């Protein structure tokens, strides 16, 4: 019985060591899922995180349904990034973000959806 418990404990420790290490918040990628109204689940502009730290971030745009244009704007309305993805496609770029509040606009020929996120210092 002790051998089984010992083996189980070893497996738990090894499994914990094999997990992905957390990504530092100043380089964490931002994934934007732009789902058009033609999708089975309805239109949405969703982000994988609500907050990142200031720094250079990879931005991955995933278009579900129609082709999309995604814009990230600063609180003053200035455009920080614009990326386009084909229907059911993806696009990737990077952006240098300073501390503040940002808006995200996902636009299709059939409309648009918005989201926000925060960048901390």
Range of the domain at 37: 25-120
Which pair of tokens denotes residue 1? 């019985």
- Measured from the Cβ of residue 102, the count of other Cβ atoms closer than 10 Å reads 21
Q: What is the pLDDT of residues 3-53, one digit of tens each?
A: 433 333 333 333 344 456 788 888 999 999 999 987 677 889 999 999 999
Quick check: is 16 in a domain?
A: no
Give the helix/strand (H/E) hosting 83. strand 79-85
Q: What is the mean pLDDT of residues 107-117?
A: 94
pLDDT at residue 84 in the model = 97
The number of domains in the chain is 1
Residues 48-80 as b/e (b if ≥16 CB within 10 A, e otherwise) read eeeebbeeebebbbbbbbbbbbbbbbeeeeeeb
Quick check: is 48 in a domain?
A: yes
Write the CATH number for 108: 2.60.40.420
Quick check: is 58 in a domain?
A: yes
pLDDT at residue 20 in the model = 63
């Amino acid at each position: 019985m002790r051998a089984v418990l010992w083996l189980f404990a070893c497996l738990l420790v090894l499994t914990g060591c094999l997990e992905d290490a957390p990504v530092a918040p100043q380089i964490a990628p931002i994934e934007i899922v732009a789902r058009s109204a033609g999708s089975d689940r309805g239109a949405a502009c969703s982000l994988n995180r609500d907050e990142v730290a200031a720094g250079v971030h990879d931005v991955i745009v995933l278009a579900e349904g129609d082709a999309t244009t995604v814009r990230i704007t600063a609180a003053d309305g200035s455009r920080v990034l614009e990326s386009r993805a084909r229907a059911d496609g993806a696009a990737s770029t990077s952006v240098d973000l300073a501390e503040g509040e940002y808006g995200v606009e996902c636009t299709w020929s059939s409309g648009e959806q918005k989201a926000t996120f925060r960048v901390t210092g």
